[in-house]
Structure 1
Amino acid sequence: MDKQSFFWRIMAGELPPPRAAQTLGAVFLHVDGEAGLAELQFDGKPEFTNPAGNIQGGFLAAMLDDTMGPALAATLKQGEFAPTLNLNVSFHRAAVVGVLTGKGRVIKRGRDVCFLAGELFQNGELVASATATAIVRAMTK
């Protein structure tokens, strides 16, 4: 964990949050960089709904990615980033317009390859879960 990394600079307000996170209405509730844990709240907006009125699965997948990613980003050194290589999502129940809470964690962090897991909840019920693989790389400008 390096407090000068881009993630911690975003958390300190020194850098703007990613636009995708802004679109999803992401708000950090808890981050533990030592343990590789993150908990976020998302705004399931009416603009995210499918014809049935439920939040479209792609937005739920993005919320999960934006939950697991910060759990890993909080562990990175300055000059590192970790793009997602693989994202596997399971949908457990429909999500409706409203607040969703994501919980993400680093399962195993190797030198380059990292394994992540996360869950997305609404009103205390599991909506979707995911696993992901990410790879640590040096940032280039």
Structure 2
Amino acid sequence: MTGERTGHFWDAVEGRTPMPAATTTLGWSLIHADTERGEIEVSFEASEEFLNPAGTVQGGFLTAMLDDTMGPALAATLGPGLYGATIELKVSFLRPARPGRLVGRGRVVHSGATIAFLAGELLDDAGQVVAVGSATTRIVRTG
């Protein structure tokens, strides 16, 4: 790709604007984005503060991580002034997640003019899938 990548996602990733606070809290980091294929790989750092009473990462944090995986898969493909707002999100928890590094893989399944369908998975450091998700987003213009 030649030229500067623009849009809300790239502005934050490339340091032109601050990262969203929730993204920072989750320890989000970009590993790779393929804008042509609508695929992304990111990492998160699940801290001790994310644990439930059973000592595993609470499902709400895993859900937020999947949302912050699938949404950026679409966001990386959008131009300036466009944003994908999640309107439906489904998550299935497959196994407990422990504190430490988790990797999210997200992809755009289909994108139309105003609606996009996304899928993602969250893996632990051993490569085991701990949660999977799907999302529907509305593509909107921002101010």
Common fold by TM > 0.5: yes
Q: CA deviation at 1:114?
A: 0.2
After TM superposition, give the deviation of residue 18 of structure 1 in Å. 1.0
Structure 1 unaligned runs (5+)? none
Partner of 1:23: 25
Corresponding residue of 1:82: 84
Residue type matched to 1:73 in 2?
Answer: A
The alignment covers a number of residue pairs equal to: 140
Q: What is the RMSD computed on CA atoms of the aligned residues?
A: 1.3
CA distance in 1, matches of 2:34, 2:123: 19
Query: How many angstroms does 1:32 deviate by?
Result: 1.2
Alignment of 1:1-141 (within 5 A): 3-122=5-124, 123-140=126-143
Q: Which amino acid aligns with 1:115?
A: F
Unaligned runs of 5+ in 2: none
Q: Which moved more, 1:101-110 or 1:11-20?
A: 11-20
Mapped partners of 1:85, 1:120: distance in 2: 20
Q: How far apart are residue 4 of structure 1 and its match?
A: 2.0
Distance 1:53 1:20 in 2: 22
Cα separation, 2, equivalents of 1:43 and 1:11: 17
- Counterpart of 1:83 in 2: which secondary structure? strand
Q: Please state how far the C-alpha of 1:9 moved relative to its aligned partner.
A: 1.4
Letter in 2 for 1:71: A
**How far 1:78 sits from its partner (Å)?**
0.6
Give me the whole-angstrom Cα distance separating, in 2, the residues matched to 1:9 and 1:50: 34
Secondary structure at 2:36 match in 1: coil
Question: How many Å apart are 1:3 and its aligned residue?
Answer: 1.9
2:122 and 2:6 mapped to 1: Cα distance? 29
Measured after TM superposition, the shift of residue 38 of structure 1 is 0.8
Counterpart-to-counterpart distance in 2, 1:99 and 1:5: 27
| TM-score (norm. length: structure 2) | 0.94
SS of match in other structure, 2:11: helix
Query: Take 1:78 and 1:99, find their aligned partners in 2: how far apart are those partners?
Result: 31
